[in-house]
Amino acid sequence: MILLLFVLIVAFVIGYALLINKIKGLPPGPPPIPLLGNTLQLDVDMGKLLQKHLIRDSDKFAERINPTQLMRLITGGENGLVFNDNSIWKEQRRFAMHALRNVGFNNATTQSTVIRYAHEIIARWKEQGANRTPVDLTHGCTVGVANIIWQHVFGRTLVYDDPLIAQVKHLAEESIASMGHPLVMALETIPAIRYLKHVDSPIKRLSNVNKEFLNLLDNEIALVMKNFNEDEEPKCYAETFLQEMRKRKERGEDEGSFTHQQLVIACGDLWGAGFETTVTALRMAFHFMINNPEVQRRAQAEIDSKIGQRPIHLEDQKVLHYTNSVIQEVLRLNASSINFARRVSAPVKIQGYDIPIGTGVIPQFPLIHNDPEIFERPDYFCPERHLNEQGEFVKDARITPFSVGKRSCLGEGLARMELFLFFTNFIQHLTFSSVSKVPPELKLLQSLARTPLPYEVIVESRD
């Protein structure tokens, strides 16, 4: 009896693997593994299809498959600005974009603030790097980026040595590392995994880290509520949200999606959108500089020639062609290794096959960034690939580190501004070089994000 049952199970698995694509009318391909599908069989050749269809028809792939189990674990339900795909997400994303615009997201004041922080960090690094003392750039980059997003979300500034900065960065790193663990990624397929939160496991670590992070955000919101003058214009996202909650209450309306829990989760999502990607890109950029000193010298020479010693502003992008190509090459090599699942929301045809509405799709943008048929020697750091014959910078629509379409990162505009202003102002006044004669190899923590492991540099003043 047991042998017969075993034979039937094996026959079912083999039949499933061989026939499932034909039964569903999907394109031919390698037999999928039950539960795992074709995840282990992804190939860089898929980059061509990704470029042709997902980037060109991005709105047809804009709906997100809600990771219900993950959301329950880290947000307590369908809250926030990232994982949802429902009326709550649409309402809250529109509100967030409107609120951030009103408090100066991406405007001239923000630009001036970024430049001011850049020069404060430059002074710190000069002091720390005196007498060729090795410097870890992580904290400086973290302080600059953290303060910008903290001001927009909570309306206050953190001092350079504020322990809150280190705490938030630690929690963000722990959360990203845990979310990239295979057990966490299998949570939606095998919901029973969630019970591992009661024993020592990646599930429990993720749950505990997020509880600590949400408590931190809750405390920050309590400060906003304590100091918020409702008769004045809101100065940050949290105040704008609290004002909307008050207005609905005064009108006798249902609070709808404007709940305290939604505010907490949304603040965390905005922090994530405006923080980790930018800090990681800056750290990657300086690693490439110490490994490619000729690139750093050429970018510095361009800045010296076109800008001189005055602070660099966003409008200077139009004359800093080589420096822009350096930043775009950093973003090409810095794309997150994992993207969240979406679903087909409108009829789409791929290589002659109709892909049904509702089909799950996981866009892997690094497949394009690392496709040798698109970018020659894709593993090689080569800013020159982004210049035309006249030496002018050419923006490449195929490089999409912030995703595309309606699901693109809310913080993309701010992140691009920060990356340009911090990087250019830093190399204008400082030269970064390797501690040893042989520059360190780029070692990455592969998780939801590709994060460089800690490294130190020699910082020398150019002033």
pLDDT tens digits along 268-317: 989 887 788 899 999 999 999 999 999 999 999 999 999 999 999 999 99
At 136-177, the pLDDT tens digits run: 999 999 999 999 999 999 999 988 889 999 898 888 888 877
Q: What share of the chain is helix, strand, coil (3-state, %, to 5)?
A: 55, 5, 35
C-alpha dist (Å) from residue 416 to 313, 329, 413: 13, 13, 5
Tally: H helices and E strands in the chain? 16, 9
Partners of 348 in the beta sheet?
355
Q: What confidence tier does 17 reach under pLDDT thresholds 50, 70, 90?
A: low
Rounded mean pLDDT of 234-238? 95
Selection from 414, 390, 392 nearest residue 318 by Cα? 392
Q: Domains, the chain, ranges and CATH?
A: 42-461 (1.10.630.10)
Q: Indicate if the pLDDT at residue 22 is higher than 70.
A: no
Q: Which residue has the tokens 């909570």?
A: 154
pLDDT score of 14: 61
State the Cα–Cα distance between residues 351 and 373, nearest whole angstrom.
19
pLDDT of residue 109: 84
Mean pLDDT for all residues in the chain? 85
389, two tokens? 């014959």
Place of tokens 């009896």: 1
| pLDDT at residue 398 tops 60 | yes
Q: What percent of the chain shows pLDDT beyond 90? A: 46
Average the pLDDT over 407-433 and give the result.
Answer: 92
Q: How many CA atoms lie within 13 A of 373 on its CB side?
A: 8
Alpha carbons 452 and 426: distance in angstroms, whole number: 19
Per-residue pLDDT band at 38 (split at 50, 70, 90): low
Q: Tell me which of 32-41, 100-109, 125-134 is least confident.
A: 32-41
**What confidence tier does 435 reach under pLDDT thresholds 50, 70, 90?**
very high
Top-confidence residue, 239 or 8: 239
Least confident of 95-104, 183-192, 387-396: 183-192
Measured CA distances, 86 to 257, 300, 368 (Å): 11, 47, 29
pLDDT given for residue 330 in this prediction? 96
Determine the pLDDT at residue 147.
92
Residue bearing the bigger pLDDT, 401 or 57: 401
Question: Model pTM?
Answer: 0.85
pLDDT given for residue 366 in this prediction:
75
> How do strand 430-434 and strand 348-350 relate by DSSP bridges?
unpaired
Per DSSP, helices labelled H in 46-135 are: 46-49, 68-74, 87-102, 108-128
Q: Give the mean model confidence (pLDDT) for residues 2-19.
A: 64
- Residue 196: its pLDDT value, please? 85
More confident residue, 452 or 51: 452
The tens digit of pLDDT for each residue in 362-379 reads: 777 777 888 888 899 999
Residue 325 reports pLDDT greater than 50: yes
Cα separation, 98 vs 272, in Å, equals: 18
Q: Which residues contact 115 (CB under 8 A, 6 or more apart)?
A: 311, 312, 313, 421, 425
**302 - beta bridge partners?**
none
pLDDT in the model for residue 42 = 54
On the question of pLDDT at 35 being above 60, the answer is: no
Q: Tell me the pLDDT band of 346, cut-offs 50, 70 and 90.
A: confident
Q: 416-432 burial string, b = 16+ CB within 10 Å, else e?
A: bbbbbbbbbbbbbbbbb
Ramachandran angles phi, psi of 218, nearest 5°: -60, -40
For the cut 90, the answer to whether the pLDDT of residue 124 exceeds it is: yes
Per-residue model confidence (pLDDT) at position 51: 62
Amino acid identity for residue 116 in this structure? R
> Comparing 23 with 91, which gets the higher pLDDT?
91
Nearest Cα neighbor of 302 from 427, 415, 395, 420 is 427
Worst-scoring range by mean pLDDT, 18-27, 246-255, 302-311? 18-27
- Quickly state the pLDDT bin for 54 (edges 50, 70, 90): low
Average pLDDT over residues 320-347: 84
409 among annotated binding-site residues: yes
More confident residue, 8 or 206: 206
Q: How far is CA 332 from the centre of its chain?
A: 13
Longest distance between any two alpha carbons in the chain, whole Å: 84
Look up residue 169 and give its two tokens. 């960065």
Cα–Cα distance for residue pair 71/59, rounded to 1 Å: 24
CB 342 within 8 A of CB 407: yes
Residue 46 confidence (pLDDT) above 60? no
pLDDT of residue 431: 98
What's the confidence (pLDDT) of residue 368?
81
Q: Please check the confidence at residue 44 and state whether its pLDDT lies above 50.
A: no
**pLDDT tens profile 178-222:** 887 888 878 877 888 888 888 888 889 989 999 999 999 999 999
Residue 324 is predicted with a pLDDT of: 98
Q: pLDDT category, 20, cuts 50, 70, 90? A: low
DSSP states of 340-409? --EE--S-EEETTEEEPTT-EE---THHHHT-TTTSSSTTS--GGGGB-TTS-B---TT--TT--GGGS-
